[in-house]
Each structure stands twice: as C-alpha cells, then as structure tokens.
Amino acid sequence: MSDSIYDFQMPMSSGEVKDFSDYKGKVLLIVNTASKCGFTPQYDGLQGLYKKYKTQGLEILGFPCDQFGHQEPGSDSEIEQFCTLNFSVDFPLFKKSDVNGKHASPLYEYLKAQAPGVLGSKSVKWNFTKFLVNKDGKVMGRYAPKTKPEAIEKDIEALL
C-alpha cells in the first residue's frame, strides 16, 4: 500500500499516464463517474465547482467506472466525448477503471482504506462516490453518491 496519494500514476482517457505528484499543493475531488446513471447530471455540479475553484487550486479527477449496473458501457473516447458534449467537462478524465474487487485500481484501494464508508465498509457503493483530498495529500472525506457536488463546496473552500 502506498504511503501517499502522490505515489500513484494513473492512465488518462487519452492514454497519457498522469503522475499524481503533479497534484502536490492542490485540493483534489476524486469521483467515480458514469454516463448512464441517475446521478450523471452531477457532472454539471462538478464542472461548476471546477470552473469556480480551479484557479484557487482545485482539481477534479473523474474515473469512469462500469461496475454498477453497466452504466458506463462506452470506450474511453466515447465517455470523453459524452462528457464534453453534454456537460462541457474540461476537468481530467482517466481511463475507465474498477473501484472494487480484485481488479480495483490501486488508487481506489488507497482511497477506500483512508476514508472508509458507513460502518467502516471499504467498498464503493455506487457511481459518483466522491473523495476529498487536501493540499498535503491527506484524504479528508468520502461523500455518498447522492451528495451533490454543490453540497461539499464549503468543505472544498475550507481546504483551499
């Protein structure tokens, strides 16, 4: 298990590998996303936060995931196109990845260990689970899928 979020490297939807050490000093909101989910309209809220706070040091990182109800069936390029056309998303989108199970990405294993869910459960329950990371790389919180991005704006502001 890694000691820091900055130890990770993850492939972006473009195929480029992103070194998380590039995010040192930034506040991160890491979200597992899906294009065909009841929570998909949260892309609007995420993009709104990104637009409002990007210059102050907020990065939103989207991780498309097809583990919940087959709600992200598209390819990485189809997902990126969907997000751009429908929600004007310009925050980073990563390659589609698993958040639970034996093929879960190491990043998500780390996040779940740092911020367990209700009653200490580790698994991500559904699309649009959000993890908030402070400027020092410490996981500060985990938010349920139903928690709208706007509802965590005060927590983000406090970390910026």
Residue with tokens 């590039």: 22
For 7-32, the pLDDT digits (tens) are 999 999 999 999 999 999 999 999 99
Give the pLDDT of residue 27. Answer: 98
Percentage with pLDDT > 70 across the chain: 99
- CATH 3.40.50.720 correct for 5-159: no
Single out the residue of 144, 114, 149, 118 nearest to residue 29, CA to CA: 149
- Of 82-91, 115-124, 151-160, least confident by mean pLDDT is 115-124
Residue-range domain boundaries for the chain: 5-159
Phi, psi (degrees; rounded to nearest 5) at 82: -55, -45
Looking at residue 116, its pLDDT comes to 87
* Residue 159, helix vs strand vs coil: helix
Burial (0-12, 13-18, 19+ Cβ within 10 Å), 25: exposed
Listed in order, strand segments (DSSP E) in the chain are 9-11, 17-19, 27-33, 58-64, 130-133, 139-143
Over residues 102-115, mean pLDDT: 95
Average pLDDT, the chain: 95
Give the pTM.
0.96
In single-letter form, the type of residue at position 143 comes to Y
Which residues are known to be catalytic? 37
List, for residues 116-128, the tens digit of each pLDDT value: 887 778 899 999 9
Q: Can you give the pLDDT at residue 66?
A: 97
How many other C-beta atoms can be found within 10 angstroms of the C-beta atom of residue 143?
A: 19
Q: Is the dihedral of CA 51, 53, 59, 64 positive or negative?
A: negative
CA-CA-CA-CA torsion sign (144, 146, 149, 151): negative
Question: Which pLDDT belongs to residue 2?
Answer: 66
Percentage of the chain exceeding pLDDT 90: 93
